[in-house]
A and B are shown apart, each in its own frame.
Chain A
Amino acid sequence: MTEPNPTPTSSPAPGTPILEARGVGKAYGGVVALQDVSMAVTAGEVTCVLGDNGAGKSTLIKILSGAHAPSAGELLVDGVETRFDGPRAALDAGIATVYQDLAMVPLMPVWRNFFLGREETVGKGLLSRLDHKTMRRVTKDDLKAMGIDLKDVNQPIGTLSGGERQCVAIARAIHFGGRALILDEPTAALGVKQSEVVLRSIVEAKRRGIGVVLITHNPNHAYPVGDHFLVLNHGTSMGYFAKADLTVEQLATMMAGDPLDVEGM
């Protein structure tokens, strides 16, 4: 680093990644789950993490989201080395993780889910009450910005499609201060059409200057939206590529576990 003691208050230089992992690794007891992995996500860019089941994707998410501390390497937030005490600390730094189960209550209205745990209120003390109007409006507007135009935000969120629910989760994470979103397999359980809905919202988030980490095992979902690609296999990095250096076919080949034939490029 050129500046050994960057002051946290100074805004980082443009182009500095919001979140960066340098040579991170994680061992559980004697088992190495992840080894020497580096990646970064910058504002307005999508970094895709690809790998088959057991490749170490979940371990990497846990490190990035602050759930687990890395046992090797370092995490940098806005260029400053950081150690998260837990998911809360990551969230406070603007790094929001959307897990597969989405943390939603199916029978509750969309707007109540959107604000659950962080409800807007008006009035003080005993008269403190939910600000229905504001919460409904914000939910409707934020979803509309993501390309989901709901007629009625009062319907139970369980009546929405899987893709729409993913979008609600993404919109919620952005609304509550997420600058970098970590999306855990958002298209895994979805059909073709629903995957489109989610990928469109990722593109929309990117356009709005949010950094996105997209975890997936589908190169066909990752390639069109991604700017950088990290491929994991058996807990190690098979490479970190910019889009220009990679075709979707090469990505798919690596996913299958074959090292990239650099000579053939």
Chain B
Amino acid sequence: MSLTRSAATAAAGGNGTGRREPGPRLLASRKPLPPVLAALIARPELGAVVATLAILIFFSLASDSFLTLAGAGVWLESASTYGIMAVAVALLMIGGEFDLSAGVMTGFTALIVGVLTTQIGVNVWVAAIISLIAALAVGAFNGIVVIRTGLPSFIVTLATFFVLQGVDLAVTKLITGQVVIQGMAQVPFYDSIQPVFGSSLTIGSANFYVSVLWWLAVAGLGIWVLNHTRVGNWIYAVGGAPQAARQVGVPVRATKVGLFMTTATAGWLVGMISLFRTSTVQANTGVGQEFIFMICAVVGGCLLTGGFGSVGGAALGALIYGMTFQGITFAGWDTNWLKTFLGVMLFAAVIINHYVRKRATAA
């Protein structure tokens, strides 16, 4: 049609001169992404899959007992609680926020149950539900403060982290005179709740904890929500471009507050798992682990800047952590090297992620 042609020529050369007529395939000239990069953009967890296999093979060669049923039971158990948290932290990170109180939350929730049952005589099931409500309240608080003030969640949750850390120590000491809760196994109905969070299945010499099932369930649920529901679409959007999300009608505030509450709920679940596996809890439980959750999420392909990442990748990031943590012990090396190893891995992951994002948004 003639109008199309005149539009093209006018756009091309001001007064319709100075430019040749464009070919019919105007858009064919765009440079395609390199295949590896294209795959990483489509599948952010690709790096974590490769790293998981590499580390599995590496420690299997370094130690005879690593790739045995008993060995797998050990590193799976180690990975499971980190994996549950990594899934929630990854969702939050994709949604554009951090939660530095995620680590201390595991101790906070376990201590609530410990104090309520051993000191006040509350039914253990009721105590677990009270603990969950407290966690949800803290999560909602984090989210609402971040939304209302517009402050970075890094600072808001850092404050929550320190407040809870102090409360954990001071209140535990005040009530029990110690910094550890003991005697959980003697509270009524303990035997009815313990298997839900702390039981294990013994196969030969191998022990498989129920926490591994929780990890798989949480990861499956996270993958489902993020990739197959409307809420998942909103999580990507509020992390990637909150202003744009708001413009097209995404409930930005509710999505973000929901993510903080999800992270708190995951903290509660891990708190229950650690409490009922050992029947004891220390007042400083979870402190310092918030960064490990974030490392797992980033190694799994999440961008620190939000809007991009993978729940499955984060779950694998935790598996990498668990395998490395136990693998170093299996191989008989100095476990002090663990953190150095983690740091190197984080560094590599961040550089890859940064490169992917630059290519994805530079066009």
Contact = CB atoms under 8 A, between A and B. Distances in A.
Contacts, number: 141
Given A112-B233, A158-B360, A187 B11 contact: yes
A216 to B, nearest CB: 11
Interface string B233-272: 1101100110111011110000000000000000000000
Contacts of B26: 147, 193, 196-197
B22 A130 contact: no
Nearest to A191: B11
Contacts of A115: 233
Interface residues of A, number: 48
Contacts of A108: 233, 236-237, 240, 307
Task: Summarize B's interface: helix, strand, loop or mixed.
Answer: helix
A107 B360 contact: yes
A158 B41 CA distance: 11
B363 A192 contact: no
A158 B7 contact: no
B96 to A, nearest CB: 11
A234 interface: no
Interface stretch (A14-22, A70-78, A219-227): A219-227
A63 interface: no
A155 interface: yes
A65 to B, nearest CB: 12
A137 interface: no
Given A106-B241, A121-B230, A155-B41, A160 B248 contact: no
B12 A192 contact: yes
A195 B33 CA distance: 23
A105 B4 contact: no
B249 A118 contact: yes
A115 B248 CA distance: 9
A195 B15 CA distance: 15
A84 B41 CA distance: 42
Contacts of B249: 117-118
B30 interface: yes
Leading 5 A-B pairs by shortest Cβ distance: A105-B240, A117-B248, A103-B247, A117-B249, A158-B361
5 contacts: A105-B240, A106-B240, A107-B307, A192-B13, A203-B4
Interface of A: 99, 101-108, 112, 115-119, 121, 128-130, 132, 147-149, 154-156, 158-161, 164, 187, 192-193, 195-197, 199-200, 202-203, 207, 220-221, 223-225, 248
